[in-house]
Amino acid sequence: MLKARLILLLLAFFLAPRPSFSRAPYALRISCGARDDVHSSPTNTFWNKDFAYTGGIPANATPPSFISPSLNTLRYFPLSEGTENCYGINRVPHGHYVVRIYFGLVAEPSFDNEPLFDVSIEGTLIYSLPSGWSNHDDERAFVEALIFLKDGTASLCFHSTGHGDPAILAIEILQIDNRAYYFGKGYGQGTILRTDRRLSCGAKDPKFGADYSADRWGGDRFWNSLPTFGQSSDQVISTKSSIKQISQSPNFYPEALYQTALISTDTQPDLAYTMEVEPTRNYSLWLHFAEIDPSVTGAGQRVFDILLNGDIAFPDVDIVSMAGGVNTALVLNTTVVVSGRSLTITLHPTKGNHALISAIELLELVLAESKTLPDEIKALQKLKSTLGLPLRLGWNGDPCVPEQHPWSGVDCQYDRSIRKHVIDGLGLDNQGLKGFLPNDISRLRHLQSINLSGNSISGVIPSSLGTITSLEILDLSFNSFNGSIPESLGQLTSLRILDLNGNSLSGKVPAALGGRLLHGASFNFTDNSGLCGIPGLPQCGPHLSAGAKVGIALGACVAFLLIATCLTCWWKRRQNILRAQRIAARDAPYAKARTQFNREVQMGRHHSQEHARTAAENGPSLLA
């Protein structure tokens, strides 16, 4: 008997429906600007101390009341650090996430302005802060998106728009179910869901999921309270009965959400609610119901149509019938394309006199941007460090997206074939760059134009530039490049403009470049320390090896010695001749003989000097 019971118990244990996820979801919370980890009661939420930021300044924050306990610090990004600033979080497991970014106000008298800026997640512009956001102590003080993170990183960026310094209070990255908010066709394919609002109908206070002891796979959503739709058109009903079919995959809603509701009154059977929306955007709308009115006990007793801006979206909704009983949750979702600035939800009863609703969620469908080719991002980051890029240029996040906020000095193009953005231009002229140009620049292999004119870049021109086959314009003028022009530049058959003037270049200009000049390309090599070899520049001297130079030097020495010896000989002989002439002049009567003697001396080159002298001295006797 006992054994049978045990087996039954075991069977029940194994057969009972269990949550689809046994492991805990990944969760990262950062308290921006905090020097130490923060633990918050009563939900014991753990906030990591600040990390993973690209720059910025920590400061005290004006504490918001809707996060409890209030986080007291933030990080703000002054314009001097550039217009693009980010948090780049690594080692985020592949998955589906709720990403939430809370905004703050710097608690200093000099910061009286509410900053307005743009927020992007993974390169997609998610939100532009509306003016007046800081007057509302609710979901207007944060932005939330549901996004698949696939490359192990989460990049959250803040883009200045000229209205104050972006100031970030906190960041949450919470894993949710892979099918959370599954809406059918197109789900997860290049779309991101931005949470516009979550409203708990009939609730008194706004609450986070944690306050509702909601399942952690729900992403700790924030439910704002909506006590009434307005003008006493409705009333609140609530129950303490437990609700069935809640907190299950994929969305894990908290039970409390269904234990209060707004129900229409006798005088006003239609229940209507109007929300402000952005025109010409697509929204995913989620509506929540549970039949908690004790007067309704079965199917067919309360039936209503749901209209969106006057069009029937869900006809004949019978909560009891569709949910499978009373006190049972029913969730409906649909995609709406709105043309105007408002979305009105109307519940129009067709059976029974009242309509009822528990909660409303509105999420905007945002088309995800395609990021830049990773190899090209790496190349630009290398350039950023070797060129000592000034802080004001920023260069954080993705170079090309969001398209509204590309990096300054970087031109981008969308490459349809690889579905990525690529860099086709680099315009960093007169930016006070120093350092050197790395060989990695050739990894930007879609470049058509480079202008680095008017900086203080030194070192050699990297020969790898010759592999960027699409390059048409290369302006490196007025820098401090030295060495010679790499032969490889001659391979750039598309090159139209090459400005290397105003550098310290020397040596021979590659012959292939000289040839291009004839075909109408515009090259400028002037004002360098010594370029040669093409028309308009000096002729290059012969090119000699070190051995040849030594040979020439030796040859020159030998030649010099030879010449010196010959000169000495000639000089001595001339002295002798002069002496002989003086002797001859003394013995005038022998003038004829002297003539004879002179001829003899000139013919007798083979005689030794001694012999010649003896002959001269004995001249007269010879004649005798």
Ligand X SMILES: *[C@@H]1O[C@H](CO)[C@@H](O)[C@H](O)[C@H]1NC(C)=O
Q: Which of 213, 297, 413, 526 binds ligand X (CB under 6 A)?
A: 526
Q: Is 429 in the site for ligand X (CB under 6 A)?
A: yes
Q: Which of 408, 482, 596, 598 binds ligand X (CB under 6 A)?
A: 482
The token pair at 484 is 């010679």
The CA distance from 320 to 299, in Å, is: 5
Nearest distance in Å: CB 287, ligand X? 11
Buried/exposed 570-609: b ≥16 CB within 10 Å, e otherwise: eeeeeeeeeebeeebeeeeebeebbeebeeebeeeeeeee
- Site stretch for ligand X (CB under 6 A), options 146-154, 155-163, 497-505, 513-521: 497-505
Q: Is 426 in the site for ligand X (CB under 6 A)?
A: no
Nearest distance in Å: CB 536, ligand X? 9
Nearest distance in Å: CB 328, ligand X? 15
The token pair at 55 is 């720059």
- Site stretch for ligand X (CB under 6 A), options 88-96, 180-188, 355-363, 548-556: 180-188
Nearest distance in Å: CB 517, ligand X? 11
Listed in sequence order, the residues at least 6 apart from 3 whose beta carbon sits closer than 8 Å to its beta carbon are none
By beta-carbon proximity to ligand X, the closer residue of 89 and 360 is: 360
The CA distance from 470 to 45, in Å, is: 53
Read out DSSP for 292-327?
--TT--STTSSEEEEEETTEEEEEEE-HHHHHTSTT
Kindly list the distances between the CA atom of residue 509 and the CA atoms of 451, 460, 493, 496, in Å, as whole numbers in the listed order.
20, 14, 16, 16
Angle, helices 609-617/591-603, rounded to nearest 10 degrees: 170
- Site stretch for ligand X (CB under 6 A), options 345-353, 475-483, 584-592, 606-614: 475-483
Q: Which amino acid is at 485?
A: I
By beta-carbon proximity to ligand X, the closer residue of 454 and 486 is: 454
Read out DSSP for 117-140?
EEEEETTEEEEEPPTTGGG-SSGG
Residue 257-296 contact track with ligand X, rule CB under 6 A, x = bound = -------------------------x--------------
By beta-carbon proximity to ligand X, the closer residue of 365 and 601 is: 365
Instruction: Tell me how long the chain is.
Output: 624
The CA distance from 5 to 400, in Å, is: 66
Q: Which of 184, 310, 541, 547 binds ligand X (CB under 6 A)?
A: 184
Contact (Cβ atoms closer than 8 angstroms) between residue 310 and residue 267 = no
Q: Is 118 in the site for ligand X (CB under 6 A)?
A: no
Q: Is 192 in the site for ligand X (CB under 6 A)?
A: no
Q: Is 182 in the site for ligand X (CB under 6 A)?
A: yes
Strands of the 154-163 sheet, one edge to the other: 84-89, 154-163, 116-121, 124-128
Q: Is 458 in the site for ligand X (CB under 6 A)?
A: yes
Listed in sequence order, the residues at least 6 apart from 578 whose beta carbon sits closer than 8 Å to its beta carbon are none
- Site stretch for ligand X (CB under 6 A), options 32-40, 178-186, 301-309, 340-348: 178-186
Q: Which of 337, 553, 578, 603 binds ligand X (CB under 6 A)?
A: 337
The CA distance from 175 to 41, in Å, is: 22
- Site stretch for ligand X (CB under 6 A), options 90-98, 215-223, 511-519, 522-530: 522-530
Rg (CA), the chain: 45
Q: Which of 55, 188, 250, 514 binds ligand X (CB under 6 A)?
A: 250
The CA distance from 111 to 60, in Å, is: 11
Number of residues that bind ligand X (CB under 6 A): 28
Q: Is 501 in the site for ligand X (CB under 6 A)?
A: yes
Q: Is 430 in the site for ligand X (CB under 6 A)?
A: yes
Q: Which of 84, 118, 144, 475 binds ligand X (CB under 6 A)?
A: 475
Q: Is 183 in the site for ligand X (CB under 6 A)?
A: yes
Q: Label each residue of 385-437 as H, E or C.
A: HHCCCCHHHCCCCCCCCCCCCCCCCEEEEEECCCCEEEEEEEECCCCCCCCEC
By beta-carbon proximity to ligand X, the closer residue of 27 and 497 is: 497
Q: Which of 453, 455, 488, 503 binds ligand X (CB under 6 A)?
A: 453
- Site stretch for ligand X (CB under 6 A), options 74-82, 135-143, 253-261, 494-502: 494-502
Task: Tell me the β-bridge partners of 337.
Answer: 282
Q: Which of 325, 483, 533, 620 binds ligand X (CB under 6 A)?
A: 483
* Of 210, 212, 174, residue with least CA distance to 195: 174
What residues make contact with ligand X under the rule CB under 6 A?
182-184, 250, 282, 331, 333, 337, 365, 367, 429-430, 451, 453-454, 458, 460, 473, 475, 482-483, 497, 499, 501-502, 524, 526-527
